Structure 1
């Protein structure tokens, strides 16, 4: 589809990509959302925790939004709760999917999650359709790394269930190597160190549970995202190395095959995204894929006046229109 013209124009201070990113990540509080946890067992006997919230003042709800968080996030993040809140208030139940190891408890296996683990999303949707059959209208929304996983899932050869009607992806590094290079820039130093420290903590948990599979010294020496992906992410998930992982899991290559209405919103001042993370040609070549590139917004920022942020209003609007 043609590129969508964006009308997002935040207050002056939030025209800074960094302020938008930091404020949304550290200072935003979303109240009035009460989540109920469901643990499901996957086919490999690992588990995933789902955090549910429900439509306010509605009975016999048949609509559901499934929300995917970003790297080292969880379903309690404000961007997850903000999305759940606007959909709950408009007749949708909501479920936040915590990726393996992200719900506050280490997962059972040596593997955890990665940017291309679409098999886990597939199992979650199958679980929902089997155990919660009242949902005949499902909308998917993914943020950052979770958005990459979502777009990959939608464009893979395996059929997407008919109940999945639309998808929205926000701030997506759809070319993983390009985003990695961007994260290595000086302007992203603090973000980069935050992710590395968090991931190293997860690797220490893996060493405690699987000391023969990952060495303490190697974890201490893994001081970059690339080295972590070479040491653990790629090997634990069946890829040859980080380069192989980035190549096979980048969602940009899957966009031409998406067959349901899908909206991607990537801000032009998102410091996490390189130029190749804006899939303009792919959008122009796929009538089901809509690309909006606001001038402002930062990374998973998109400040909005009132309770709902811009990306949340746009997600609900898009889900309603399709």
Structure 2
């Protein structure tokens, strides 16, 4: 294997290797329901994001795991519940940041979020560095949130945010190519689902006239692809010329070569949201470890473990958190981890 590129240890559950089966299986796993504490984080521009916390109370010493969800995801997404619960079981204080408008409340300003929008994540991580200066802090992202995080790491080349590491799960690092992939074959079903969710959120705001768009509900209904949505909504709402300009400026792929922070990328070769060999021609920075699995679908990675279906993804992330916590604290003074935790997430 090329340095920095590795085969993931994931093995799909017998008979369940199909990419679409893997993509949908996490919805059928038993959903851990960690007790969550909500917080509103005010942003410099007058808007806000909603945070969901799991783990020790604010005063207890614990390393910090910050998660950024995917397109139209939330703390209710199966992968979010699995990852937050896995981090909490390993003794981490875990938190998910909802992108603007993805929590329980619509955001205030006439804008939304997008794959290259790193400002809110930077603001959050800066605040957390001030609040928890003495503990290891790790950021993770899933799908859209993973691309955003990788772009942020490239922008923060000197690691002014003070992260101990980062994890990017199924990042669509070439947004144009991924948009094209979602327009073909069975993948169009995923595109249709995402479009329904996006349209359902923006249509009432168009009716109310609170968005600076020359677009009617009827015109929105005619949009049938994510590229079309990005052309008519995402790009003009966030200062891009069109979808092509947005994809070029927001894609993390061309920036990966500059990442030095220890960063794990988990990718499935059969991800239906992405073209084959997405990473073939990309330069990886010295901090990146890319683990590619032959199977796994899009944020699937469901294995057979201890007699039942389970999330290999949560187990892999938990193992990475253990490794980084040991490195950061030299294996000593690591609070919050019990012998029960050592049995594995």
Structure 1 residues 60 and 222: alpha-carbon distance in aligned structure 2, compared to 1, 3 A threshold: same
Secondary structure at the aligned position of 1:277 is classed as coil
Q: Residues 173-209 of structure 1, C-alpha deviation per residue, up to 9 Å, x if partnerless? A: 1100110010001211211110111111122132125
Shift of 1:281: 4.0
State the alpha-carbon separation in 1 of the partners of residues 216 and 257 from structure 2.
Answer: 41
Q: Is the 1:82–1:308 contact (alpha carbons within 8 Å) kept by the matching residues of 2?
A: no
Say how many residue pairs are matched: 317
Calculate the aligned-residue CA RMSD, in Å. 2.1
Shift of 1:217: 2.8
Secondary structure at the aligned position of 2:141 is classed as strand
Q: Residues 65-105 of structure 1, C-alpha deviation per residue, up to 9 Å, x if partnerless? A: 00111111112212111111111111100001100010032
Among residues 2, 8, 11, which one is paired with 1:9 in the alignment? 11
Q: Is the 2:254–2:282 contact (alpha carbons within 8 Å) kept by the matching residues of 1?
A: no
Q: Is the 2:64–2:93 contact (alpha carbons within 8 Å) kept by the matching residues of 1?
A: yes
Alignment TM-score, normalising by the size of structure 2: 0.86
Structure 1 residues 104 and 274: alpha-carbon distance in aligned structure 2, compared to 1, 3 A threshold: same
State the alpha-carbon separation in 1 of the partners of residues 14 and 310 from structure 2.
Answer: 18
State the alpha-carbon separation in 2 of the partners of residues 243 and 126 from structure 1.
Answer: 31
State the alpha-carbon separation in 1 of the partners of residues 82 and 117 from structure 2.
Answer: 24
Q: Which residue of 2 aligns with 1:155?
A: 154
Secondary structure at the aligned position of 2:220 is classed as helix
Q: Which has the larger radius of gyration?
A: 2
Structure 1 residues 21 and 6: alpha-carbon distance in aligned structure 2, compared to 1, 3 A threshold: same
Q: Structure 1 regions of 5+ residues with no counterpart? A: none
Shift of 1:162: 5.1
Q: Structure 2 regions of 5+ residues with no counterpart? A: 325-345
1:92 aligns with 2:95: no
Structure 1 residues 62 and 188: alpha-carbon distance in aligned structure 2, compared to 1, 3 A threshold: same
Shift of 1:318: 2.2
Moved more, 43-52 or 97-106: 97-106
Q: Which residue of 2 aligns with 1:237?
A: 238
Q: Is the 1:62–1:136 contact (alpha carbons within 8 Å) kept by the matching residues of 2?
A: yes
Q: Is the 1:148–1:250 contact (alpha carbons within 8 Å) kept by the matching residues of 2?
A: yes
Q: Is the 1:21–1:299 contact (alpha carbons within 8 Å) kept by the matching residues of 2?
A: yes
Query: Between Structure 1 and Structure 2, which shows a larger proportion of helix residues?
Result: 1
Q: Which residue of 1 aligns with 2:129?
A: 129
State the alpha-carbon separation in 2 of the partners of residues 167 and 110 from structure 1.
Answer: 31
Question: How does 1:28-177 map onto structure 2 within 5 Å?
Answer: 28-55=29-56, 60-130=60-130, 132-133=131-132, 136-157=135-156, 159-161=158-160, 163-177=162-176
Q: Residues 251-301 of structure 1, C-alpha deviation per residue, up to 9 Å, x if partnerless? A: 101111112100111101111111353256423xx2211111101110000
After the TM superposition, which segments of 4 or more aligned residues of structure 1 sit over 4 Å from their partners?
Answer: none
